[in-house]
Chain A
């Protein structure tokens, strides 16, 4: 039983950290620029396709991953310069409409370029098997994903909490006009944050590619989760994004693993088998509603 809980905790951690990569960019764009970017999930999808294409071309997953992330960063830069810069001034409705259009454009473009069928990525051969951790076997590749996620979290912490740029970012999230008045180049800061967010999206997409499948529409389902994360964590807060991601990751994994078994003890088998998975999939939304009830600004609101 302890082994099961440990393994599920690792699964939850892995899922949560990948959500964090997405949520970190989303929460900064939303928090600092006050811009709702629904196309954040499309950056994740396009990034994953970039990684898959580069991996096939270079025949090495790591080169592919680096090239794909760089490609997505360039795309992010172009998007920011051409489109998002116009959107910051507009109201939320215009932003939602424009970025929703981006989702449709991205999906159709990917369908045209790479086809409607999913691309299959494989992890590097050395990581394809299991390794022994504390008495049981765990997939080596998932451990690598956890390592990547932890490294990015640490890097972001150093950047945001310790560096000058991070101070500007925090200041921007707390009060944009005041930061501008103090002489910070907020325009340039926005561009940097957006590009960084796009690169993190591609990193998540590329890392998850071998585990899931690289396919059209993969961004939408994960985008919803990323929004849940930033709402739970507090918009604009990196710390909130990390805590929110880990909560959502763990609750989702544990819910899927334990709820059906728990319900079976209480209900007849066929009712439990129907109710269990359904309840597990709404669990995180219940959690979100609960947290919003007690803390409407999320756990770590950036604006005081």
Chain B
């Protein structure tokens, strides 16, 4: 082939690469089995609900969502992501629940220049120094919900707190977030194994310390067992429990029931948040799945809407990564949490709310919105992010 022909072919290929795609593929890797499965299932169901409302299209183009279960293992998640990137050539990836898995899978996705829209995991690493043009988080930065609880515990005047969290990146973020706003004494930081289900030893330790409050961040089955065992051990009589929304949403409430009443928790979303998008989401989710949505479901739903808005904005030309990034950053969708915007590190700047678990008018145990903790709150790592 002569040099001129080669140049022509290259130009044609380049031109070809920005024509509109005829189909959008989404690779959805999430934790769908084991103790963390409740989270992944909620994100998936929220995502699927949005796809259903969009008639199976993203930005007007037919869309295919390929789902894989990572079994809460970074290795299995990496294998699934590799297949999505190399074989299926997906346009977006989403779904990962746990930050240790996100940190393991992230680099592969970014190298492949594929956009990852996180519907949950928001590790501090990807918000700060390792922030990446191909990473967006539509939910929150890990620290945020814990910062909000820290603020509440501080303002309510608690002085002696025990923190319980799993020993993994999300747990470390939880502790730093909580401590950023809670300034009183921390009697003990208890780190448990990720996925631990028996908390007898930790509860005995808490009993001997006699704190006035316990802040626990134990997502999924871990939190379910912790609260059940906490109440069974008789600790709830003298100790107030505080949690981020992760450990006190519908998945945990459904399993634990009445012992959850009175737990204060923080969230960027609530099922009784008053806006038309949220009302439609909550009503449709209940109709479709027969249960109340959790914050995870709202995040999955928003992730789908975010992709939809961005693909529509670039008129289906998802190959033009720069334009797509601008469209994602501009946030062309109405979130069920109300309005928010993306910061320069691709993490949200948004409100955080206080909720308390109680009985609603129908006698059902659920979360009730109490008030706003932070308005237009950004994460603490954005200044370290040099987005290239």
Contacts and interface: CB of A to CB of B under 8 A. Distances in A.
Interface of A: 1, 3-4, 7-8, 11, 14-15, 111, 116-118, 120, 122-123, 128-130, 136-142, 211-213, 215-217, 253-254, 256-257, 260-261, 269, 273-274, 276-278, 281
Given A213-B221, A277-B191, A117 B204 contact: no
Given A118-B221, A130-B232, A274-B167, A4 B193 contact: no
A116 B205 contact: no
B37 A118 contact: yes
B41 interface: yes
A1 B192 CA distance: 22
B34 A215 contact: yes
Contact of A116 (B33, B193, B204, B234): B33
B18 interface: no
Nearest to A3: B208
Nearest to A18: B198
Nearest to B165: A273
A4 B208 contact: yes
Contact of B201 (A11, A138, A213, A276): A11
Given A1-B208, A257-B201, 19 more contacts: A3-B208, A4-B207, A4-B208, A14-B200, A111-B33, A116-B33, A116-B34, A117-B41, A118-B34, A129-B234, A137-B207, A211-B198, A212-B197, A213-B35, A257-B204, A261-B188, A269-B189, A274-B191, A276-B191
B201 A216 contact: no
A273 B189 contact: yes
B229 interface: yes
5 contacts: A14-B200, A123-B232, A212-B225, A213-B221, A217-B34
Interface string B15-38: 000000000000000001111011
Contacts of B193: 277, 281
Contacts of A253: 200-201
Nearest to A122: B228
Interface of B: 32-35, 37-38, 41, 69, 167, 188-193, 197-198, 200-202, 204-205, 207-208, 221, 224-225, 228-229, 231-235, 255
Contacts of A14: 200
A15 B198 contact: yes
Contacts of A256: 201-202
B354 to A, nearest CB: 28
Contact of A4 (B191, B198, B204): B204
Contacts of A11: 200-201, 204
A257 B208 CA distance: 11
Contacts of B41: 117
A117 B190 contact: no
Nearest to A273: B191
Nearest to A137: B234
Given A212-B198, A213-B35, A281-B193, A4 B234 contact: no
A139 B232 contact: yes
Contacts of A141: 232
Given A130-B232, A141-B232, A142-B200, A136 B207 contact: yes
A174 B248 CA distance: 55
A73 to B, nearest CB: 26
A62 B190 CA distance: 35
A257 B191 CA distance: 10
Given A11-B204, A274-B167, A116 B32 contact: yes
A118 B233 contact: no
B168 to A, nearest CB: 10
Contacts of A128: 231-232
Q: Closest 9 CB pairs between A and B?
A: A130-B234, A137-B234, A116-B33, A11-B200, A4-B208, A139-B232, A7-B204, A257-B201, A212-B197
B231 to A, nearest CB: 8
Nearest to B254: A120
Contacts of B201: 8, 11, 253-254, 256-257
A138 to B, nearest CB: 7
A68 B141 CA distance: 45
Nearest to A213: B221
A236 B157 CA distance: 58
A252 to B, nearest CB: 8
Contacts of A120: 224, 255
A141 B200 CA distance: 12
A8 B203 CA distance: 9
Contacts of B34: 116, 118, 215-217
A75 to B, nearest CB: 23
B233 A137 contact: yes
A271 B255 CA distance: 35
Contact of B69 (A116, A139, A212): A116
A118 B35 contact: yes
B297 to A, nearest CB: 15
A164 B185 CA distance: 63
Contacts of A116: 32-34, 37, 69
A213 B221 CA distance: 8
A41 to B, nearest CB: 15
A141 B221 CA distance: 19
B35, B192, B232 — which one has the most chain A CB atoms within 10 A of its CB?
B232
Contacts of A276: 191
A213 B207 contact: no
A7 B33 contact: no
Nearest to B237: A137
A8 B205 CA distance: 9
B35 to A, nearest CB: 6
Contacts of A216: 33-34
A180 B278 CA distance: 74
B38, B200, B208 — which one has the most chain A CB atoms within 10 A of its CB?
B200
